[in-house]
Amino acid sequence: MSKGTITFMNEKKKINAAILIIGNEILSGRTQDTNTSTLANWLNSLGVKVNEVRVIPDEEKVIVDTLNYLRKNYNYVFTTGGIGPTHDDITAESVSKVFNRKYEIHKEAFKILESYYKPGEFNEGRQKMVWMPENAELILNPTSGAPGFSVDNVFCLPGVPSILKSMLGGLRNKIIGGEPILSHTISLKTVESEIASSLTKVQEQNKDIEIGSYPFFHAGKLGVSIVIRSEDQTKIDACNSQILEFVKEKKIEIVER
């Protein structure tokens, strides 16, 4: 669920996804997660709605149990992290156990990395990155060579944000979504309690639109951003007009962010 004390959710069934962030470094606070935003925005553009995000440690049982739940409840699951060369990179082996597949060297991945590195550089540690579930499909990596992989509806990507982002283009044809999810934001110089009742009335008149209310403090300005989301731009425009109507009546200032 997104942040915000007031959130109205559209119950209409959509093609959906879950994001699973794997890594002790995220949970400890040493590394800040930006992959969720990157993936969610990309999936929205394809008409896939992210309904759940989880952050879990590098523990095999936790990974296996979580993936088994998510893959059965969502159309797509995207994991980030845990597919590198170090001892705590256990995502690939865990996914093998999820699908009861042999954990083995992926021959195509081996050839890719053998060609990528200079002679003598493709050492035992780096060779760990070519161990994957049997018959996994590769997700090519144009940045650092080491591919991700997918098994059924589970897509495993690296944790490094710039590398993950560069790999999304190769996935576009593998994801079947609906209409792109559009959004429009209205930022107001107000507090949520001042607009809660009016916003609820707008939501009741637009039940197939998702409306979220999110407080912010930016550049010395305290306010609330209202985000309208739908696949239909005309419905967003109509909802926007209704919101602007009560904003004008209440003499609330609209702010640029």
Looking at residue 63, its pLDDT comes to: 98
How is residue 143 annotated by DSSP? T
Q: Which residue, chain included where needed, has tokens 């993950």?
A: 164
Across-strand partners of 81? none
How is residue 231 annotated by DSSP? S
Both structure tokens of 62: 């936790």
pLDDT tens-digit readout, 97-121: 999 999 999 999 999 999 999 998 9
Looking at residue 221, its pLDDT comes to: 76
**pLDDT class of 178 with cuts at 50, 70, 90:** confident
Looking at residue 10, its pLDDT comes to: 42
Q: Which fold has domain 8-174?
A: Molybdenum Cofactor Biosythetic Enzyme; Chain A (3.40.980)
pTM: 0.81
Looking at residue 2, its pLDDT comes to: 41
Mean pLDDT of the chain: 92
**pLDDT class of 252 with cuts at 50, 70, 90:** very high
Q: Which fold has domain 182-254?
A: Alpha-Beta Plaits (3.30.70)
Does pLDDT of 186 surpass 80? Answer: yes
What residue ranges of the chain are covered by domains with CATH 3.40.980.10?
8-174
Within 8 A by CB and 6+ apart from 183, the residues are 44, 227, 228, 229, 236
Higher-confidence residue of 3 and 213: namely: 213
Does pLDDT of 160 surpass 90? Answer: yes
Higher-confidence residue of 18 and 125: namely: 18
Looking at residue 218, its pLDDT comes to: 77
**Percentage of residues in the chain with pLDDT exceeding 70?**
95
Q: Which helix (H) or strand (E) is 37 found in, with range? A: helix 35-45
What residue ranges of the chain are covered by domains with CATH 3.30.70.600?
182-254
Does pLDDT of 20 surpass 90? Answer: yes
Looking at residue 256, its pLDDT comes to: 78
Separation between Cα atoms, residue 123 and residue 86, nearest integer Å: 12
Looking at residue 66, its pLDDT comes to: 98
**pLDDT class of 257 with cuts at 50, 70, 90:** low
